Each structure stands twice: as C-alpha cells, then as structure tokens.
Amino acid sequence: MLRVGLSGGIGSGKSTVSQRLAELGAVVLDADRIAREVVEPGAPALAEIADRFGAHLVTDEGALDRPALAAVVFGDESARRDLEAITHPRIAERTAALVGGAPQDAVVVHDIPLLVELDRVGDYALTVIVDVPEDVRLHRLVELRGMEEEQARARIRAQADDRARRAAADVLLPNSGTLEELRSRVDRLWWDRLVPFEANLRLGRKVRRSEDLTVVDPDPSWPAQGARLVARLRAALGDRAARVDHIGSTAVPGLAAKDVIDLQVVVPTLEVLDEEAVRTRLGAVGFTAPASGWDHARGAGTGEERWPKRLWGGADPARVVHVHGRAADGNAWRLALLMRDWLRDDEQARSDYAELKAVLVASGLPTSDYAEAKEPWFARAFPRAQEWAARTGWAPGP
C-alpha cells in the first residue's frame, strides 16, 4: 500500500486532482468529509460540542450549525483547542479505519487541505501539492465562486503560503492552465510514479542507481528533499531513533554529487531496525526493509576493519535514497557528520573532493565501484577532518 498526501491552497483545483486520481483507481480519503462525518447527528462528538460550546449550536434537525460554531471558535485559541480535542481523535480513528480497510495493493490518497499547516509531511510516503499562484487563486474565488474579494484574501492568508507548500512538495502539480493539461499531468503522475511506487513497496524493491556513473552539478532542492525524507524517518521511528540526518555530498552546498540522497539513522542498537513493527512503519512512509551492511573502520587503534550497520533505501521510482542505520555507541555516525560538516566549512576540501569525483567519472568507472574507489582519498582526508574538528571545537549538532 502506498499512502500519498494531497494538498493545495483554496482555489487550487485540488478536488479536481483527487477526483481524477479516484477515477484512475486510487482510494481517496477526503479529510473534510471525514471531519463532517464525525459530527453527524447522533455522533458522540456532536454531543460533546454542545456540552462545551452550547446547545444552540445544534439545529432543530439535530445537525451541527457550522457557521455558528465557526463564529464561536474563530479568533479564540482556547476554544479552537477544545474543539480539536473533541474532533481530532475521532477523525484520526476514522481515517485509520478507512486506511485499514483499503486493499493491500492500494494507492491511498489523503486529500487534506491543511497538510502543510499541520506539519503532516512525515505521515506520507509522498506529498503532492497542486500549485497555483496566489493571484490566480484569488481570481478563481472571486469570479468563479462568487466570494467577496476581501473574504477570499482572508481565506488565502489563513493558509500556508506558496513557499511553504512548495517546500513540502515531492510533486508539484501546476494548475494555471486548462483542465485537460491538469488531467494529463495527473495521469502521468499515476502511471509513471504512483503505480510503480506502490508495487516497489509491496514487493520490497529498493530503487537503485544506474551503473552509468554520473556526477551532476549541485541541485538547490537537495536540502529540501533531504528534509522531507528525514521528517518521514523521524515520524516512522519516533523515539526508537536517537537522531536522523541528511548526510553525504547532497548535504554539502556547492558540491557536485551523484543524484542520490543519503540519510543516517542513529539507533540504540542495530537490532531496533530488525524489528517487524519498525520495518512496517518504514514501509508506510516509503522505505524498504533494512538489511545488513558495513562501514570501513577509521581511526587509530580501532583494531577492526569493518563496522556493522544496516542499509536500506526508498521505493520511489523518481528518487534514489540510501539510508545508513548506525548504532549510537559506535563511531561511524559521528564520522559521517564530521565529514559532512568539514566539507561544508572547508572550501579546499570541497575542491579536492570534487576533483576526485571528476577523475573517477572520466575513468569510466561503474557506479558500483565508485564508493570503494574513493576510500584512499577518505583515508587521507580523515586526519584533516579531525584536525579541523579539534581546531574549531566541532561537535555533532542536536
């Protein structure tokens, strides 16, 4: 099963996207509809709302007077929190029941208007944002929905801005053109990404890099991509992980790299990553099951050649991800952070490393031999990084 979060600002056309995904075969969960279901006549939540805010909020027909409730809680932070304490647990319970009832090979799309505002990116294997500039959305609300302009502006201002939505998006669906253009984009998303993503997850297939070694110019979106993936791992692992970080070359601004996002998970013991419950939670946010791996041992007096770790990856066909699971009582995780931070700080080190990458690409080396071919350079670079750490007082950040 693949879980996708779908969102977009008011007037973006998000409902059109969810409708098309449903036509293609997705199981679509409408957050607004679920929120209405939990306060239907006779529902326990409706009785609690009446007890807390007043019986006048229930009509003679036994239904919730939504405009009246909005007037009560609008601008009253305490009242809003009380309302959420009543409705949110029931919304979550109903949503979980619907997800649990979906087929195991389903693509489940959660249409949730406040995905960004509620910081829910970590809950899904993929986030899709319908992207429309604010001025276009304003025009649609006024001209097509008949809203007063000031009311439309207020509704837009109450939501996340375009910049925040774009930072949260794995997939940005532009919708400033025609309906046919939007439907075509949704169809390509479905067949090229969502369907193979679900199959990869269900079959435990990690997306692998090509054997044709390619190093590309730095992509300014790499940090945001890393942040979204880190959020998913943190949500899945919770307090089972001591820390989760974006590491490797894509975490170093200005450094050319393979287009692969490397992440590090630090756990009390590696056996945590062998637990079935942990593997299930990783699968829910788009990752395959961890497998055994190792790192080169570094540092004087280690007395070892290798340090054990766990390795796994992502199942998204559009993004190669490598995740390194390392034990908190070992040195490998600190070394990974040290090398990242040293390269971020030391321009000469970045230049040296970039030159090595260019030489290896020019040699025709296949990707599978690339990491091992860099080992002599890392062996020489490690003492330089240690000297830098001692000089600067470096320590792993929080």
Output the known binding site.
11-16
| Binding positions for ATP | 11-16
Residue 141, strand partner residues: none
Residue 315, strand partner residues: none
Alpha-carbon dihedral of residues 167, 171, 172, 175, nearest 10 degrees? -150
CB atoms < 10 A from the CB of 365, how many?
15
How many angstroms separate the CA atoms of 198 and 103, rounded? 12
Q: What is the largest CA-CA distance in the chain?
A: 80
Residue 379, strand partner residues: none
| Tokens coding 3 | 């879980």
Asked if 62 and 41 touch (Cβ cutoff 8 Å), the reply is yes
How many angstroms separate the CA atoms of 160 and 115, rounded? 9
Residue 244, strand partner residues: 265
How many angstroms separate the CA atoms of 149 and 134, rounded? 13
